[in-house]
């Protein structure tokens, strides 16, 4: 195993984190928050020095890596970056322990949107830092899904392919920067457009900046406590909804639309099966919302349905989707958004493929001797291709059950453990608030052990459960 190669890229990771901290510190200086700016700048310098030292000691390492190297780097990356990102939470005095700071950093970086902190009590510097962390996390989610998980065939047929993302064996690390730049450019462009439109429609500059980063990353963290309606108008809320949907769409298809630079190619976004699935789920959620909440709150139901299906989960008004039965909200959260997006959950494409497989199996039952191939999007899919999807569902169910068991052992009741497990594993933190458990549980009530279990589930949800399960297969490490 190329340990020095992994250390080299961890050094690059430290340098990247330092750059993001420095940019946030510079923004804090402009906002006249001099003390937080100086503290963040000092942290950035220290992290940057560590990164440079790691790079300097390993820069002559061979430029080839195995699948095991790439997977180990993926897992270490998702563990170490939140550890670095947690330092500002401690230094700026928002978190009283390493555990709570790490929980907050994991939640932001995995774009889960769960927080035990009151936004109104935080400095603008920290609010901006966690918004930047969400944006960075969203880019990393899509980049790793394309470069490592798809290349290692860990996401199964549920991952779309694109000419941009064609990889050759041994060049996984080398392509991280190239593809990362493209994906970062896409999301930065969308976030910039969202920011400008929010400012034009009356949202303050700072709130527009943090909300645009949160929306395009499906993060869900907001710059103020309470519902969005208190400081975001209906037009701005609608704009946020559009960009939340874009965040839940396949980035490969968004790239194709932007690359072609023709307005009529936007139809590609609507023709995609997963994107149609998003609209269908949002429509079903809307109908349930009208039934349970009433037509008098139609706008709130519509906009919150869009937020919810994207796994962003913004709370627009006091009365909204919280009135729906918890089982509906949990099911939608677990389904999630599109593959190669910033959304969490199982992903819609896997659900569609399994339903197609189910239909084919039903046809085979009526004609046992008949050969009925499974077709999807005009292509025949062999039965063995569904093995990885069934394995994914098995792994997802296994970790969901494991999470419920561990949260229960940590002191939560069964209902609270189920909701917290679903919110963490699907990377949709606002689900806990939306379900409104009878116990009144909020993230601020979590013990340190419950925070650690929740953070672990967030990380597992983001690295794809198969990437974790494969660690327990010796044959993978012998390749």
CA distance 172 to 9: 12
340: which DSSP letter?
A: T
Instruction: With beta carbons less than 8 A apart as the criterion, state whether 17 and 43 touch.
Output: no
107-143 per-position pLDDT tens digit: 999 999 999 999 999 999 999 999 999 999 999 998 8
Residue 21: partners with Cβ closer than 8 Å, 6 or more residues away: 40, 41, 43, 44, 47, 88, 129
Q: Which contacts (CB < 8 Å, 24+ apart) does range 276-282 have? A: 277/338, 277/348, 277/349, 277/351, 277/352, 278/245, 278/248, 278/249, 278/309, 278/310, 278/337, 278/338, 278/348, 281/309, 281/332, 281/335, 281/348, 282/306, 282/308, 282/309
Instruction: With beta carbons less than 8 A apart as the criterion, state whether 82 and 105 touch.
Output: yes
267: pLDDT strictly greater than 80: no
- As given in the structure block, the two tokens for residue 445 are 């009530």
Mean pLDDT score across all residues of the chain = 86
Q: Please report the pLDDT score of residue 152 as a whole number.
A: 52
- As given in the structure block, the two tokens for residue 37 are 């700016």
Question: How is 8-67 classified by DSSP, letter by letter?
Answer: HHHHHHHHHHHHHHHHHHHHHHHTT-HHHHHHHHHHHHHHHHHHHHHHHHHTTS-S---H
Sign for the CA dihedral angle at 465, 469, 475, 477 comes to: positive
241 or 175, higher pLDDT: 241
209 or 381, higher pLDDT: 209
CA distance 235 to 203: 10
Closest CA to 429 of 133, 241, 219, 132: 219
Whose tokens are 């998003």? That residue is 278
Mean pLDDT to the nearest integer, 412-420: 93
* pTM for the structure as a whole: 0.90
Closest CA to 133 of 23, 291, 281, 236: 23
288: pLDDT strictly greater than 80: yes
b/e map 223-234, b = 16+ CB within 10 Å: bbeebbbebbee
Mean pLDDT to the nearest integer, 3-10: 85
Q: Which of 140-144, 163-167, 183-187 is the least confident region? A: 163-167
CA–CA distances in Å: residue 327 to residues 75, 84, 285, 343, 398: 31, 36, 12, 20, 19
Alpha-helix runs per DSSP H in 201-272: 205-216, 234-247, 251-260, 267-271
297: pLDDT strictly greater than 60: yes
CA–CA distances in Å: residue 314 to residues 114, 341, 428: 11, 18, 10
392 or 205, higher pLDDT: 205
148: which DSSP letter?
A: I
428-445 per-position pLDDT tens digit: 999 999 987 677 889 999
Q: How far is C-alpha 468 from the chain's CA centre?
A: 17
Mean pLDDT to the nearest integer, 470-478: 67
73-97 per-position pLDDT tens digit: 888 999 999 999 999 999 987 888 9
């Amino acid at each position: 195993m190329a340990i020095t190669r992994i250390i080299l890229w961890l050094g690059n990771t430290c340098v990247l984190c330092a750059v993001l901290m420095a940019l946030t510190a510079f923004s804090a200086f402009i906002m006249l928050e001099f003390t937080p700016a100086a503290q963040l700048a000092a942290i950035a310098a220290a992290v940057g020095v560590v990164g440079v030292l790691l790079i300097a000691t390993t820069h002559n390492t061979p430029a080839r890596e195995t699948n095991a190297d790439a997977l180990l780097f993926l897992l270490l990356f998702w563990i170490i970056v939140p550890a670095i990102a947690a330092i500002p939470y401690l230094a700026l005095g928002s978190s009283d322990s390493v555990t709570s700071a790490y929980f907050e950093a994991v939640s932001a970086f995995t774009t889960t949107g769960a927080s035990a902190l009151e936004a109104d009590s935080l400095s603008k510097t920290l609010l901006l830092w966690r918004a930047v962390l969400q944006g960075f996390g969203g880019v990393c989610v899509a980049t790793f899904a394309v470069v490592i998980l798809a290349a290692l065939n860990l996401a199964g047929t549920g991952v779309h392919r694109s000419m941009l993302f064609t990889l050759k064996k041994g060049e996984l690390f080398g392509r991280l920067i190239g593809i990362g730049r493209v994906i970062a450019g896409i999301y930065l462009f969308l976030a910039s457009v969202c920011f400008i439109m929010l400012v034009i429609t009356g949202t303050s500059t700072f709130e527009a900046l943090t909300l645009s980063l949160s929306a395009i990353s499906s993060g869900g963290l907001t710059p103020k406590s309470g519902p969005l309606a208190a400081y975001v108008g209906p037009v701005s809320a609608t704009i946020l909804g559009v960009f939340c949907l874009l965040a839940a769409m396949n980035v490969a298809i968004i790239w194709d639309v932007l690359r072609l630079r023709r307005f009529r190619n936007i139809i590609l976004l609507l023709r995609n099966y997963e994107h149609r699935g998003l609209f269908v789920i949002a429509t079903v959620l809307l109908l349930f919302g009208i039934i349970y909440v009433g037509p008098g709150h139609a706008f709130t139901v519509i906009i919150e349905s869009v937020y919810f299906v994207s796994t962003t989960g913004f709370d627009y008004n006091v009365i909204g989707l919280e009135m729906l039965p918890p089982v509906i909200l949990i099911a939608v959260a677990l389904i999630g958004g599109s593959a190669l997006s910033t959304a969490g959950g199982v992903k819609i494409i896997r659900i569609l493929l399994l339903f197609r497989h189910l239909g084919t199996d039903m046809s085979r039952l009526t004609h046992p001797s008949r050969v009925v191939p499974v077709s999807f999007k005009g292509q025949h899919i062999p039965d063995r291709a569904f093995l990885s999807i069934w394995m994914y569902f098995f792994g997802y169910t296994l970790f969901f059950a494991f999470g419920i068991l561990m949260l229960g052992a940590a002191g939560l009741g069964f209902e609270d453990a189920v909701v917290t497990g679903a919110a963490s594993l699907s990377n949709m933190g606002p689900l806990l608030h939306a379900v409104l458990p009878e116990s009144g549980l909020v993230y601020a009530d979590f013990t340190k052990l419950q925070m650690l279990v929740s953070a672990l589930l967030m990380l597992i949800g983001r690295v794809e459960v198969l990437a974790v399960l494969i660690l327990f297969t010796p044959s993978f490490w012998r390749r």
